[in-house]
Amino acid sequence: MKTYRFLSVLFLIIFLISACGAPAVEHPPLKLGWSLWPGWYPLVIAQEKGFFEKHGVEVELSFYPLYGQTLAELDSGKVDAGALVVGDALPLATDGKTKIVLITDNSSGGDSILVPADISSPAELRGKRIGVGLGTFGEVLVREMLKRNNILIGDVTLVDVPPEKLPDALGKTVDAGHTYEPFTTQAIQGGYHAIFSSAETPGLIPDVFVFRSSVAAERPEDVRAFIAAFFEAQEWWLANPDEGAALIAQATGLTPADISTDGLKLFNRNDNVNAFKPGEDTTSLFFTTQLYTDFQILTGRLNSAPDLNQMLDASFLPQ
Amino acid sequence: MKNWFSKLLADTNEEGRNFFAIALIMFGAGILSLPLYVYLAIQDGSWQLYVILGTVIFFLIASGLSAVLSRQNRTTAALTWLLGGLFLIVPIIAAMVVGVGIVLAVTVVVVTILIVRQTLSGRRATKTVLRGVVTAILTVAIDVYVPWERASYPLLSTFIPYIAGAGILGISIYVLRGYRQYSLSTKLIGGFLLMTLIPLGVIFFFNNRSTRQILTDNANTALSASAAAAAQELDAFMNGSLTQVRSTAQSSILAEYLALSPSKRAGSETETVLYKELRAIASRDPIYITSVGLIDTQGTDIADTYGADIGLSKAKRIWFTTPVENGLPYVSPLEFSEATGLYSIYFSAPIRNVEGEIIGVLRMRYNANILQKIIVNSAENENITDSFTVLFDENHIRLAHSARPELITKSVIPFTLDKLAQLQEANRLPKGATVEEYSTNLLELEQRLSDVDNQPIFSAEFSATAGELDQAATVRMKSQPWLVAAAQPINTFLVPAQTQTRASAILVTLIAVVVAFIGSFVAQSLSAPIVRLTAVAEQIAAGDNNVQASIETQDEIGVLAGAFNTMTAKLREFIASLEQRVADRTRNLELAAEVGRSVSQVRALDVMLKDAAELIRSQFELYYVQVYLTDASQTNLLLLSGTGHVGEQLVGRGHRLPLNLSSINGRAATEKKAVVIADTATNATFRPNPLLPNTRSEMAVPLIVGEKVVGVLDLQSEKANALSRELLPAFEALAGQLAIAIQNANLLAETEQARAEVEAQARRLVRANWADYLDAIHKPEETGFVFQQNKVRPLTQEEETQSVEKEKGNSWASPIEVTGEALGNLVVELDEQTFVARGNELVNTVAQQVAQHIEALRLLESAERYRAEAEEASRRLTREGWKTYVENAEESLSYFYDLKEVKPHHGNGQAESAVALPLKVRDEVLGKLAIQGIDADDSRALELVNAVAERLSTHIESLRQQDQTQIALTQSEKLFEASRRLTQAADLQQLVDTTVTAMKIPAINRAILVAFNYDDSGSIANLDVIANWWNGTGHQATSVGTHYPLEMIRAMPLFVSSTPVFFNDAFNDERVDATTMQLVHRLNLRAVAVLPLHTSAGQIGALIVEAEVPHNFTTEETRLFIALAPQIATIVDNQRQFERAQKQAERETMLNVISQKIQSATSVEAVLQIAARELGHALGAPMTVAQLSMKDKS
């Protein structure tokens, strides 16, 4: 009798072990590359405040001093996601390798075209050397400004200057240029002023999170959790601006004074939902993305046009 | 130590001590291993080791608890804790550490077997070992199937095969050592399992090995291809990029722009075209090409798609100096930029003018991630499961890693500090880099990577954290001194082999189970008949030889069973014949005893012998039995009895044989040894008796008393070999009894004859003499005295009549007899109160005393009278000169009386003239009485002399007869003495003790010997306990002297029996009635044996043997009882006789007193007076009469 009891216990143990047999695949942390941009500061908040953890996702943030590095890191697979401007995501999107899953913000005055003090209107820029990250949203903004002021692209010389290098390059290799905060402030301190900003082009410069399609397909829950945590961080920051600024300053090495959401509009869930709808102007991400696509085709940067329906994926937004 | 140990285990039994020792050993082992596990856990820090540490601590507690429980003799609980602890930790360790399952499984089985061997046996042992085996299987299963990550100790894995091998060897030796003890079915099952599992195991082993080999080969091929493809892509990229830079450098716009003076460059048309050109190059890979720049001969970046670099000096950069120096395009190694924090690859080519002079350098900067992208793409394209591709530079720094990008820029083994500084100087590593930060420590991988030219395919750990061995194929790049390694975890590509192993393990287990089942069935069917046969053999060994082995098969076992049955049949037959022989012999002895008993009744010799012969013949179913007796001369054997007609005939004609060796019977008598002729047909000396033609075997047994042969018992049978030496003891015993009976009969006959003669003579004499004495001349014809009221007075005529009448009333009367002649009466009148035990006997005895004494007195008085007469005659002879007669008396035995004294007579009396009278007894002349000097005519004198002579003759004869009687009596005394010696246990207590001891039945705790007292009618009146025995346990035996009236003994019929009665359990015996049952319960009588004691007179009592526990009396015991019964009876009888004799002696004492007084009397009157008085005194009788009367008899 005892033997049977003993055997039954043993078989129970074996059964339990077998039940454990379906291994819970342990995920490595979600790796996200980013560079300095106020719209992305909630990443720091979410990390520091434990919102990622709260939503059940481990996130490893890789900060790159150079924005372009995010592209290379994401493309070479070193990170799973990157914080990018929408146009830069296009070369990555060939063969459906990446997806845009979230609009973090929209530049609304955050991006500016800075000109020397002696220039007071865009028309005066004719014949000037304008520093801009060629092929980037900066060029799109510059082109938009030139287009609005009826200046042909041939009337100016576009010099490839990354926005973070612009304060240094101004007055040396270029006469004017595009940059954003905190470099805008630096440039203004150097005697420059803005004659055009993204406030005049709503929706033209959306900042997004781009995920590798493979990661999005394999770990949709992690992506959803990540986005949910990010939204929570956004809200928290808006509710606690000072505390948020202190946190961000501590993590990024900036001064709290430099930290604000001025010049950009943070996109919450509803904004995202709206933007992820097709439309006929830049408020629709589809439209804007198409715009960038056209621009890059125009500038000979794309071998093929990406499939926007596949590339723009709102399915990870919280319900 | 020893003392301490034994003190500690003072109250612990053997089993407990064993357990304690083992628990202590286990505890010690746990304590010893604990520091190791603590060290490992702290060192490694993995949770698995902490779990193991926890279980080891639990095991310590369990074994400690087990030791404590063992000490308290609670061995079952101790075993549960001990083995429970063991059975728990082993699977847990297997679940926590990779690859120790088999060793642990073997260990747990070995340890369990060792523990069980020391402590358990039987079913419990088997069960526990089974548990150990199940735990072992579980452990192996866990080792194979456990899903989670486990700690790994490569060192352990190295030793595991050896440990496992040793363990398996140990078990094998152990199993083989015990081989002899295993049952047949176990051996068969074991054999089946071995025969099945060994080939299977070998097949699976080789199959698995070849599978592994094939899988490894396939993996190697795939990895080699993958590495080659990656290398090719990298080379293509390198070469393509270089070609791009080189060819673009030929573009005239570059030279044109460089030819412009710096001041004219900005904003010039040339500049626009140049930038277009540069951007076109950059747009080739907008993600990775981070800069395309133009550097003048001074090393200044004069135009750049990465604006931040414009104007900076690059004069010291190798990618600038090298092309300027050797005119060839250049590819840089990975260079770190402190400014951007990025690694880059630089492609540069010299720009020449039309004269061929180098006027600048075109430089293209690639983000180093391009290498990672190429590697990842390549790896993805290859699509090998879990495979990864790594790019190592010449310093074995990882440049790309498709699976673990975090390892990029890290070297395989730590750098020396010099090397680090050197690399930092060359911008190969960041300035702040430390050795720890930028290296892993994979020595084996380093060695393998150093040796790839010899062994491009190898296995090594590619990452320390993964902890698994990878199979790798390497290919050297052509464009760079870099290595591309494609690797795959061995466990990944060996998955099919492992699946196969698992499937095999399951299959082997299933086959083992099936084989075990089939094996047990076959073993059962093979061994069951043998087991049954064994059981049958054991039954036979235990004494039951009626069992039969069933023959179930026609194979060897069936044959064996048949042979077995034959054997048991033979055995049965043999035992039966043996039993028959024993029974025969016992019967013979019993018959001999019976015959002996029946002949021991002393009767007329011829009748007794006749009966004996017939009895022997009929009891032993013989043909003819005869008894010869030796004659007085010891020269002949006289046939005294023979059976049947032949016997009568032979006895009738006085058949006799000479006492010599000429005949069988003669020889037996002569040699005093039995002669046996088993088969007359084969015996040369046998001479057949014509009257007994059917005799086929004969036996002559001498009848011997002491040393004297008194006769021969001759037995003849019609069957050859019927009378054999085997029967001799029975017949010798018979012959002995017969001899004694003959002797007794002879003696009895002689004694009786002598006594009869004496009595007859004495009577005659007494009658004559008394008639003479009470001749009414000298004495009155009647005389008597009365003792009344303490006075003796003469008996009057009236009283005489009264006393005679009173004899019929309340009185004792005894005749006063002399040699059977009643001379008077002794009468004691009794009143109610004066009862004296056996007073009647006393009266009788006194009467005899009186008779004797008055006879003596009469003789004395007669003698006086004769003397007076003789004196008178003598005087007359004197007077008439008979003195001469005396002197002339016979020479031979003659005496003469010379008035003074009697003197021997010499001289010839016949010459004298004398009266000589012959002394005759029954007409035989014994001698003569001669008186001289008596005239022959003196009739008066002659008469006297005649009378004297007659008296003399009679007296002489009487004296002779008395001598003879004395001899007979002495012989009887000797016999009595012999029988007394025979019954050495004179004491009845001792007798009972001896009897019970002889029984040898331990259950018996008491015994009582009861004697029956019979009343006048011959039925039992009551019974007395005359002896008892008690072994000191249970109820005491009924004490000696206890008197049971008949009415108390309801169960009396049980005691009165001709055969012993046995109660195996009186409590449950139907023969016991309710009333007796109460007594039985009160005395707690369970087993009872009632042994009736019979003598020739009937049952004299019973020996009751009792036990307070039930006991089944065996045949042997009952036989012993039956055999002992007559002996006990005889001894008891003797004893009682003896007691009676003692009482008799008491009476004799009383009698003596009376006798002495009687003898002191000098006259008959005085005698009668004394008799009357003393008897009256002694018996307290109111009146005693002693009377003599010859009135009616004269």
Per-residue pLDDT at B1048 exceeds 90: no
On whether the pTM is more than 0.80, the answer is no
- pLDDT for position B984: 54
Mean pLDDT computed over B536-560: 80
Q: Do A66 and B341 touch (CB under 8 A)?
A: yes
Q: Do A65 and B341 touch (CB under 8 A)?
A: yes
Q: What is the pLDDT of residues B1087-1099, one digit of tens each?
A: 888 888 777 667 7
Task: Give how far the C-alpha of residue B906 lies from the chain's centroid of Cα atoms, to the nearest Å.
Answer: 94
Of A13, A78, A165, the CB nearest to B307: A165
d(CA B1085, CA B1071): 14
Task: Provide the mean pLDDT of chain B.
Answer: 77
In angstroms, what separates the C-alpha of B307 from chain A's closest C-alpha? 5
Of A72, A75, A169, the CB nearest to B307: A169
- pLDDT for position B976: 42
d(CA B8, CA B16): 12
| Whether the bond into B904 is cis, omega within 30 of 0 | no
Closest residue of B to A92, CA-based?
B287
What are the chain A neighbours of B334 within 8 Å (beta carbons)?
A: none
Closest residue of A to B290, CA-based?
A68
What are the chain B neighbours of A65 within 8 Å (beta carbons)?
A: 340-341
Of A21, A73, A157, the CB nearest to B147: A21
Query: Quick check: B362 contacting A, CB < 8 Å?
Result: no
The answer to whether B398 touches B390, Cβ cutoff 8 Å, is yes
- pLDDT for position A205: 87
Mean pLDDT computed over A61-78: 88
Mean pLDDT computed over B296-311: 86
The answer to whether B1075 touches B971, Cβ cutoff 8 Å, is no
Q: Are strands B457-461 and A81-85 parallel, antiparallel or unpaired?
A: unpaired
Closest CA to B345 of B417, B439, B258, B244: B244
Q: What is the pLDDT of residues A258-304, one digit of tens each?
A: 788 887 889 999 999 999 999 888 889 999 999 899 888 888 778 88
Closest CA to B938 of B862, B864, B881: B881
Contact residues, A window 37-56, toward B, CB-based 8 Å cutoff: none
The fraction of chain B above a pLDDT of 70, given in percent, is 75
Helical residues (DSSP H) of A50-108, grouped into ranges: 51-54, 67-75, 89-92
**Comparison of pLDDT for B519 and B462, the residue scoring more:** B462
- pLDDT for position B501: 77
Q: Do A78 and B370 touch (CB under 8 A)?
A: no
**Comparison of pLDDT for B1112 and B702, the residue scoring more:** B702
Helix (H) or strand (E) holding B866: helix B839-879
- pLDDT for position A90: 87
Per-residue pLDDT at B1161 exceeds 80: no
| Most confidently modeled range among A177-191, B172-186, B237-251, B942-956 | B237-251
Per-residue pLDDT at B396 exceeds 60: yes
ipTM field: 0.77
What are the chain B neighbours of A300 within 8 Å (beta carbons)?
A: 280, 283
- pLDDT for position B911: 43
Query: Quick check: B286 contacting A, CB < 8 Å?
Result: yes
Mean pLDDT computed over B417-421: 89
What is the length of chain A?
Answer: 319
Mean pLDDT computed over B351-375: 91
Q: What is the pLDDT of residues B775-832, one digit of tens each?
A: 655 666 667 777 777 777 777 766 655 555 554 556 777 777 766 677 777 777 766 5
Per-residue pLDDT at A211 exceeds 90: yes
In angstroms, what separates the C-alpha of A311 from chain B's closest C-alpha? 18
The alpha carbon dihedral of A16, A17, A23, A29 has a sign of positive
Per-residue pLDDT at A236 exceeds 90: yes
Of A10, A68, A127, the CB nearest to B290: A68
Task: Provide the mean pLDDT of chain A.
Answer: 85
Contact residues, A window 289-318, toward B, CB-based 8 Å cutoff: 299-301
Of A78, A91, A173, the CB nearest to B286: A91
Query: Quick check: B369 contacting A, CB < 8 Å?
Result: yes
Closest CA to B319 of B339, B342, B335: B335
Band (pLDDT 50/70/90 cuts) for residue B923 is low
Query: Quick check: A75 contacting B, CB < 8 Å?
Result: yes
What are the chain A neighbours of B402 within 8 Å (beta carbons)?
A: 77
Closest residue of B to A11, CA-based?
B138
Query: Quick check: B8 contacting A, CB < 8 Å?
Result: no
Contact residues, B window 314-343, toward A, CB-based 8 Å cutoff: 340-342
Band (pLDDT 50/70/90 cuts) for residue A157 is confident
Residue B1065: Cβ within 10 Å count:
16
Helical residues (DSSP H) of B249-361, grouped into ranges: 252-259, 262-265, 269-282, 318-326
Query: Quick check: B308 contacting A, CB < 8 Å?
Result: yes
Band (pLDDT 50/70/90 cuts) for residue A12 is very low
| Most confidently modeled range among A84-88, B231-235, B840-844, B1114-1118 | B231-235
In Å, what is the CA distance from A273 to each residue of A101, A205, A283?
11, 17, 11
d(CA A140, CA A157): 14
Mutate which of B143, B372, B389, B407 to test chain A, going by most A C-beta atoms within 10 A?
B372
- pLDDT for position B940: 67
- pLDDT for position B1036: 79
Tell me which of B264-273, B514-523, B567-576, B1112-1121 is least confident. Answer: B1112-1121
In angstroms, what separates the C-alpha of B308 from chain A's closest C-alpha? 6
Of B130, B266, B373, the CB nearest to A76: B373
First to last CA, chain A: 57
- pLDDT for position B949: 67
Per-residue pLDDT at B467 exceeds 70: no
| Most confidently modeled range among A8-17, B149-158, B510-519, B930-939 | B510-519
**Comparison of pLDDT for A313 and B933, the residue scoring more:** A313
The fraction of chain B above a pLDDT of 90, given in percent, is 10
Band (pLDDT 50/70/90 cuts) for residue A13 is very low
Contact residues, B window 83-142, toward A, CB-based 8 Å cutoff: 91, 95, 127, 130-131, 134-135, 138, 141-142
Instruction: Annotate B806-854 with DSSP letters as a single string.
Output: HTTSSEEEEEEEETTEEEEEEEEE--SS---TTHHHHHHHHHHHHHHHH
Per-residue pLDDT at B1112 exceeds 60: yes
Tell me which of B231-240, B523-532, B1100-1109, B1165-1174 is least confident. Answer: B1165-1174
- pLDDT for position B938: 65
- pLDDT for position B457: 92
Query: Quick check: A8 contacting B, CB < 8 Å?
Result: no
- pLDDT for position B163: 61
Per-residue pLDDT at B639 exceeds 80: yes
First to last CA, chain B: 116
Of A2, A157, A165, the CB nearest to B272: A157
Of B138, B310, B311, the CB nearest to A14: B138
What are the chain A neighbours of B373 within 8 Å (beta carbons)?
A: 72, 75-77
- pLDDT for position B895: 54
Q: Do A18 and B145 touch (CB under 8 A)?
A: yes
Contact residues, A window 145-164, toward B, CB-based 8 Å cutoff: 157, 159-162
Of A69, A131, A299, the CB nearest to B307: A131
The answer to whether B680 touches B688, Cβ cutoff 8 Å, is yes
Q: What is the pLDDT of residues B738-776, one digit of tens each?
A: 887 787 777 777 777 877 877 777 677 667 766 766 665
Q: What is the pLDDT of residues B977-1031, one digit of tens each?
A: 433 433 455 567 777 777 777 666 778 888 888 888 777 777 777 788 888 888 8
Q: What is the pLDDT of residues B102-127, one digit of tens each?
A: 777 777 877 787 777 666 766 777 78
Q: What is the pLDDT of residues B125-172, one digit of tens each?
A: 778 888 888 888 888 888 777 777 776 665 555 565 666 667 667 666
d(CA B315, CA B324): 10
